[in-house]
């Protein structure tokens, strides 16, 4: 295993018999009674900070975490009040090498001093190198890359390309999907954020999620009959389509949808449904790509190669870098038809250099193997927690992407967002940040995605805190 690069002091892991987890503090990098104002001037106190936040920030999702974050290193973030929080979400599910990885820091310092940003029509060595190296990690015929910034942007470009190449416009996605907040990406997102904004892009359809824990189509023994579900789904798609099916955009493991992984064989059958209708298959590996699940890409499990692959989050290890990867044939057709996706930060050299460093570290430190090993360790710990608490209904995921679903009782399998919110809050109080899904109706599944550089001791600490938080929150119901 690669050594942890955490530079800040770490807490020792409590033993399994520890009744409580003490709050760990570290020296703050700034006085707790100061906050930085305009032009770098110091003003007021923490109260002033929150007053400024309340007055000047647009609220764009759930409530902000009630901590002022001053710094981060490795698997931890540090607050202005001197608290040390174990980060079980890798920031926004992105920092796969942990925070402030020294090689990422060195790359940014070196690159920004020489070549940071260019006119989007200019090319640099980091961009071409990253495109070539990404192709080398992927199965044929995926070899042509477009480098962008965010997952939403990469999905936007992929959908735009698919529509142009096929000459059609209808897009199919999972009913609990999350692909981003820009127009085409948001129109293919069904887990949240659809109401109140008027019509989305025309021709977007949802198909049911093959959820083995809550099967809707069942075999005689009660298991999920995903083949019958998929046939039914496309019967409905065919009935609604105007004959203009362009693409199917899906995640290999639905993350915001609750860490749901379709059964083996599902994606091969889905690709066949697409082929029969002249659709392209787009896989969104924003959270699953680049070793997170124990293989370089989640698509490797089924051996299914999409027509277009989108990457983001993990590719930049916390910096804004995304990619669309497709075949030379599709790229050529798109080019001949006048494909246009000319954005301000397309092919920027600074983040491309970071992407190359990410690939360096993943390869050298064999972080795919590390994710498998640590993922098995995490899974054993979660299974032990499930054995102690009957509010844990299901454990699922792959590698270092794990989900734990909280239920009101195991018989009905009714998910409990209220309990999820209480557990999340108690974890934060005890020093663990987790459960990035905190939107209404989505908090019953606790999502965990620690950095691939985390240690077993850090995972043990997180498991101990989670165990205590579930026990205390369930007892308080």
251 is catalytic: yes
Show the tokens assigned to 19: 């009744």
Show the tokens assigned to 195: 């109401």
178 is catalytic: yes
Choosing from 447, 458, 467, 468, the catalytic residue is: 447
The set of residues, in sequence order, having a beta carbon less than 8 Å from that of 426 and lying 6+ positions away, is 468, 469, 472, 473
- The CA distance from 236 to 225, in Å, is 17
438 is catalytic: no
Do 205 and 187 contact (CB within 8 A), yes or no? no
Query: For the chain, what's the residue count?
Result: 477
DSSP H or E run through 354: helix 349-364
Spatial strand order in the sheet of 76-79: 69-73, 76-79, 84-87, 432-433
Choosing from 111, 229, 287, 468, the catalytic residue is: 287
Neighbours of 57 (CB within 10 A): 9
- The CA distance from 457 to 434, in Å, is 17
Choosing from 144, 168, 178, 396, the catalytic residue is: 178
Task: Identify how many contiguous H helices and E strands the chain contains and give both numbers.
Answer: 13, 16
The answer for 119, left when phi > 0, alpha when psi is -120 to 50, beta otherwise, is beta
Show the tokens assigned to 31: 């006085």
Choosing from 83, 313, 372, 398, the catalytic residue is: 313
Choosing from 87, 153, 170, 284, the catalytic residue is: 284
271 is catalytic: no
Nearest CA-CA partner of 473 in 444, 450, 452? 444
In this structure, is the dihedral angle defined by the CA atoms of residues 91, 95, 99 and 100, taken in order, positive or negative? negative
Q: How far from the centroid of its chain's Cα atoms is residue 120's Cα?
A: 27
414 is catalytic: no
**CA distances for 174 relative to 62, 75, 239, 256, 349, angstroms:** 23, 32, 17, 11, 34
- The CA distance from 374 to 380, in Å, is 10
In this structure, is the dihedral angle defined by the CA atoms of residues 428, 433, 436 and 437, taken in order, positive or negative? negative
**CA distances for 442 relative to 152, 304, 364, angstroms:** 20, 29, 37
229 is catalytic: no
Choosing from 156, 170, 251, 348, the catalytic residue is: 251
User: What amino acid positions are annotated as catalytic residues?
Assistant: 178, 251, 284, 287, 313, 447
């Amino acid at each position: 295993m690669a050594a942890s690069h955490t530079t800040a002091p770490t807490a020792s892991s409590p033993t399994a018999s520890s009744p409580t987890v003490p709050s760990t503090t570290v020296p703050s990098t700034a006085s707790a009674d100061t906050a930085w104002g305009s032009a770098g001037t110091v003003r007021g106190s923490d109260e002033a900070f929150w007053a400024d936040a309340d007055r000047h920030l647009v609220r764009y999702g759930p409530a902000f975490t009630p901590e002022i974050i001053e710094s981060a290193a490795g698997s931890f973030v540090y607050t202005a009040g001197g608290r040390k929080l174990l980060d079980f979400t890798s920031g926004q599910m992105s920092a796969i090498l942990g925070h402030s990885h020294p090689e990422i820091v060195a790359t940014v310092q070196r690159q920004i001093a020489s070549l940071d940003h260019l006119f989007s029509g200019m090319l640099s060595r980091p961009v071409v190198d990253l495109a070539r190296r990404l192709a080398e990690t992927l199965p044929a015929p995926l070899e042509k890359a477009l480098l962008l910034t965010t997952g939403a942007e990469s999905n936007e470009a992929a959908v735009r390309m698919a529509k142009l190449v096929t000459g059609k416009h209808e897009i199919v996605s999972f009913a609990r999907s999350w692909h981003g907040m820009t127009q085409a990406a948001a129109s293919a997102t069904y887990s949240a954020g659809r109401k109140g904004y008027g019509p989305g892009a025309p021709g977007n359809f949802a198909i049911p999620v093959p959820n083995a824990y809550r099967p809707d189509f069942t075999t005689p023994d009660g298991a999920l009959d995903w083949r019958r579900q998929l046939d039914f789904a496309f019967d409905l798609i065919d009935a609604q389509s105007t004959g203009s099916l362009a693409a199917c955009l899906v995640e290999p493991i639905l993350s915001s949808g609750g860490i749901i992984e379709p059964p083996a064989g599902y994606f091969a059958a889905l690709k066949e449904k697409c082929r029969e209708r002249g659709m392209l298959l787009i896989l969104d590996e924003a959270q699953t790509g680049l070793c997170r699940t124990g293989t370089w890409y989640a698509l490797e499990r089924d051996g299914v190669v999409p027509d277009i692959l989108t990457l983001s989050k993990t590719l930049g290890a916390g910096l804004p870098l995304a990619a669309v990867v497709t075949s030379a044939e599709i790229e050529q057709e798109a080019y001949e038809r006048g494909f246009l996706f000319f954005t301000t930060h397309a092919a920027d050299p600074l983040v491309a250099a970071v992407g190359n460093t990410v690939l360096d570290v993943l390869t050298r430190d064999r972080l795919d193997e590390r994710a498998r090993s640590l993922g098995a360790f995490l899974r054993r710990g979660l299974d032990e927690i499930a054995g102690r608490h009957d509010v844990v209904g299901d454990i699922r995921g792959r590698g270092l992407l794990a989900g734990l679903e909280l239920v009101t009782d195991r018989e009905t399998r009714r998910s409990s967002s209220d309990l999820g919110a209480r557990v999340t809050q108690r974890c934060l109080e005890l020093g663990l940040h987790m459960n990035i899904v905190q939107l209404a109706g989505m908090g019953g599944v606790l999502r965990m995605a620690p950095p691939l550089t985390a240690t077993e001791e850090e995972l043990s600490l997180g498991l101990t805190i989670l165990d205590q938080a579930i026990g205390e929150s369930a007892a308080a119901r």
